[in-house]
Amino acid sequence: GAGVSQTPSNKVTEKGKYVELRCDPISGHTALYWYRQSLGQGPEFLIYFQGTGAADDSGLPNDRFFAVRPEGSVSTLKIQRTERGDSAVYLCASSLSRTTSTEQYFGPGTRLTVT
């Protein structure tokens, strides 16, 4: 079946612009995560959704970052007034539910470059 998909695969934007990154999780997966991965580093947690609600947004670096999941499926990560330091690969992952042995399935990521 289809895995996690993310669009766009690459996004180049100018400093100060607004961007939206989209994630389509695996069908039926109720848990959805956003991570950010800088070059040479492991993924860093940003936000977690269980269904439609953001159950944990403690990883969002500041109030320029916001994410939604209005119907409990597709999620959009929104970044306002982008800065060069926001350049990274943004990964989305989904899992079936919040059980202790459930692996997270990752999408291919969106590579964001802020010039």
- The contact set with another protein (CB under 8 A) reads 4, 31, 33, 35, 40-45, 48, 55-56, 59, 91, 95, 98, 100-109
Measured from the CB atom, the residue of 73 and 90 that comes closer to another protein is: 90
* C-alpha angle 66-105-63 in degrees, rounded to nearest 5: 10
Measured from the CB atom, the residue of 45 and 66 that comes closer to another protein is: 45
88 Cβ neighbours under 8 A, 6+ residues apart: 36, 37, 38, 39, 111, 112
Give the residue carrying structure tokens 């953001």. 54
Q: Least distance in Å: CB of 86 to another protein?
A: 19
Q: Which DSSP symbol is given to 3?
A: -
Q: Least distance in Å: CB of 72 to another protein?
A: 16
Q: Least distance in Å: CB of 54 to another protein?
A: 11
